[in-house]
Structure 1
């Protein structure tokens, strides 16, 4: 009994420490699993995010050069080369879309590159006045890829008529060049900020201090950015608003992305593929690393719908369903909306199911709180 009294305080202290430690583990970012969150962030950051921004910068540089060539020698061949460069830059953008936090948010990347539809009246007014500030909020829909598309394609006009428009109004070329310069400047700024050779936001993103699942953690930022971009920029902007689902039942075919160019579906497919690759931790070349699917497997996460599939498999299957339904639609998307909008609405329905899995089930399984506000009832 004497020995017990002698060691009792120490035993109680150690027991208390063990309880505290266990409690922290139960609530920590890797509770109940041995998942390597740091390795996950390092893979996503170095193999997906940084290469995506690097390619966007490269494609934007080519776009600027092709536009400069068109301006210097306005003819059908240089116009077509500029159009091709625009398409390739927009595809590159789709793979940056899920990562609109940190440097991208600070630089206003979305505002400078991909607000659509373009306000053609505002663009024409800016060109006619010859005085404008593309950095203002008021000009968000008069710049970026959509503005370049409007200027290079027009609507129901021939290439010859587009070229003649630049000849009749030389200030159109200046506006075209200014928009392209802003795109590459913003894209380069974001890539430099992420790059280890620049601002090294990658180091901050993968640091020990950024681990966890709270709002300030890299996981929290990544999950919120993925969901926000998918809901607002993909589900709603690309499909829901043009199809009338997110526009009070009124279809707005001209609100489709790439309305003038007619390749809305190619952009949508690339965009959904970008989210899927992030989920799988897969590069564009198909190299598999740690992804959200592995994280969910480690958590043994299940769906809230009672599906027999584990959550990781259910989400992967739903990505395939969305891609499959998009692939059944015919270009141009605005004509599909006018002739058979039910097929476009089916795409939205599939996207909505995916949104629930990502925003409700995945976020909950990972312990991430969705911090942005949305009125869709998810």
Structure 2
């Protein structure tokens, strides 16, 4: 009788500690393919399509500026650079399939950019942008330097493309960078629309190599390492012990780093909720629905609500930041650190609580220990 009582007590304790209860829905019963279809057709492919249009315009404007390096064309090129950079925030999280093979994100957005390497490449006129060793001298950060960082005034910047001894090389390097961004993006989009979409959707099982498991891991990795750490934590000095204001995204452009951050934050929350890219008033199956199906609760509140509330809390905290993150760090870094703390809460909710509920294992190494 004593042994039976102990066994009954153990069962009751296990039952009481399980958020979903012993008879809650099984994660394997959810229609995972419906999520993959919504992601592919309403989020991923439309995002790459929009981004491809932006990169084509960027390269067109770079070619025009290279041929006619005027003040007006410089402003036009900057505008298309900003538009493409913002559009990139909607695809940067999708490092699966062809982007993973190409190391797409590394080719387009490693910052801070290596200005010494850029100048060496321009001076020599000989470089191979396909080499991984040149990832930090190309992409959007390198364009930021070439369009905004060569000098303080636009009239001085223009001289690098007109009267400078290496003016022709500057113009060539500029168009080579935009051409590579455009060609890599076209390669990724073509892959998605010519077969990979069906492969992605059909791989709807569960397990480390399933599309959903890999995509969720890539999504959380992006949120943790590129949004939370890259855009906020690293420049704010969370990992180095001292602020690194020159490590902000779009450092040379000035008042653009906050806009990029907000675009990324919006994109990650919209993905979580399955919001359609071209019809933002509509949404389909996504992680929020999966968690709701499982009745996933944490401390008496459903996890979907907690995650969305935390996205909103991070956005609210960031709303008071200077549009120029470098200036914000130098004037009041405490506000940047507070934004990081709000972002960090969703790392816990998604990387721990959500993955546990979905029975998905983390597939990447946590180098910074959080």
TM-score by length of 1: 0.87
Which of 183, 186, 189 is the equivalent residue of 2:184? Answer: 186
CA contact (8 A) 1:74 1:163 kept: yes
Q: Which residue of 2 aligns with 1:354?
A: 346
Q: Which residue of 2 aligns with 1:231?
A: 224
Q: Which residue of 1 aligns with 2:287?
A: 292
Which of 293, 304, 308 is the equivalent residue of 1:312? Answer: 304
CA contact (8 A) 2:27 2:359 kept: no
Q: Which residue of 1 aligns with 2:242?
A: 250
Q: Which is bigger in relative contact order (C-alpha 8 A, separation at least 6)?
A: 2
CA contact (8 A) 1:134 1:143 kept: yes
CA distance in 2, matches of 1:266, 1:318: 19
CA distance in 1, matches of 2:35, 2:222: 21
1:208-235 Cα shifts (integer Å, max 9, x gaps)? xx12331101110111000111111111
Q: Which residue of 2 aligns with 1:18?
A: none
Q: Which residue of 1 aligns with 2:70?
A: 75
Q: Which residue of 2 aligns with 1:149?
A: 144
Cα deviation for residue 34 of structure 1 reads: 5.3
CA contact (8 A) 2:217 2:362 kept: yes
Cα deviation for residue 156 of structure 1 reads: 5.3
CA contact (8 A) 1:70 1:82 kept: yes
Which of 38, 46, 55 is the equivalent residue of 2:50? Answer: 55
Cα deviation for residue 133 of structure 1 reads: 1.1
CA contact (8 A) 1:33 1:298 kept: no
1:57-90 Cα shifts (integer Å, max 9, x gaps)? 1100000001111111111111011000001101
* Larger of the two Rg values belongs to structure: 1
Q: Which runs of 5+ in 2 are unaligned?
A: 1-24
1:323-361 Cα shifts (integer Å, max 9, x gaps)? 111221012110100000000001110111111111111
CA distance in 1, matches of 2:196, 2:314: 32
1:247-285 Cα shifts (integer Å, max 9, x gaps)? x21211011000011200100000011110110000233
1:197-218 Cα shifts (integer Å, max 9, x gaps)? x2x21101111xx123311011
User: Aligned to 1:242, what secondary structure does the other structure show?
Assistant: helix
User: Aligned to 1:98, what secondary structure does the other structure show?
Assistant: coil
CA contact (8 A) 1:55 1:92 kept: yes
Q: Which residue of 2 aligns with 1:333?
A: 325
User: Aligned to 2:236, what secondary structure does the other structure show?
Assistant: coil
CA distance in 2, matches of 1:118, 1:99: 22
Inter-CA distance 105–347: structure 2 relative to 1 (3 Å threshold): same
Which of 205, 208, 212 is the equivalent residue of 1:215? Answer: 208
Q: What is the aligned residue count?
A: 340
TM-score by length of 2: 0.89
User: Aligned to 1:38, what secondary structure does the other structure show?
Assistant: helix
CA contact (8 A) 1:107 1:189 kept: no
CA contact (8 A) 2:151 2:157 kept: no
Inter-CA distance 242–36: structure 2 relative to 1 (3 Å threshold): same
Q: Which residue of 2 aligns with 1:35?
A: 30
Q: Which residue of 1 aligns with 2:173?
A: 175
1:280 and 2:278 matched? no
User: Aligned to 1:99, what secondary structure does the other structure show?
Assistant: coil
User: Aligned to 1:257, what secondary structure does the other structure show?
Assistant: coil
CA distance in 1, matches of 2:150, 2:264: 25
1:289-314 Cα shifts (integer Å, max 9, x gaps)? 112111100001123xx2x3200110
Alpha-carbon RMSD: 1.3
User: Aligned to 1:368, what secondary structure does the other structure show?
Assistant: coil
1:260 and 2:258 matched? no
CA distance in 1, matches of 2:160, 2:248: 24
